[in-house]
Amino acid sequence: MSHRQNGHRYFVDLGILTFVMHYVADATMALTVVDGGGVLSDGHTETVTTTVAEVRPHVYLTSWRERRGTRVLHLEDFERGRVHSRIELPGSPPLARLGTLTELP
């Protein structure tokens, strides 16, 4: 079973930023910011179209662009519960973070 299967939800902790990723359909993910850490507004929600490439079983390279122009690139390792994230906010230097992925019920 794929960890990116529709309906799966994950809590992502990047240290300064936490959010929930919910895979709602093929190439569609809903995001909810839990703690924006001054980078994003707490409680912000958005549905994005993703581009996904499987690197190996349980590891995916995922990218998306948000409404306000933020670009995000994730290397999601569901086997180890880790995510390498690169966030490019308009007009700001890119943020590179290593964090955790925890599946939610």
Instruction: Report in angstroms the alpha-carbon separations of 41 from 24, 27, 33, 74, 90.
Output: 22, 24, 7, 20, 15
CA distance 21 to 77: 14
Write out the chain's pLDDT in tens, 105 residues: 466 778 899 999 999 999 999 999 889 999 999 999 988 889 999 999 999 999 999 999 999 999 999 999 999 999 999 999 999 999 999 999 999 999 999
Q: Which two tokens stand for residue 67?
A: 């409404």
pTM exceeds 0.85:
yes
Task: Give residue 70's pLDDT.
Answer: 93
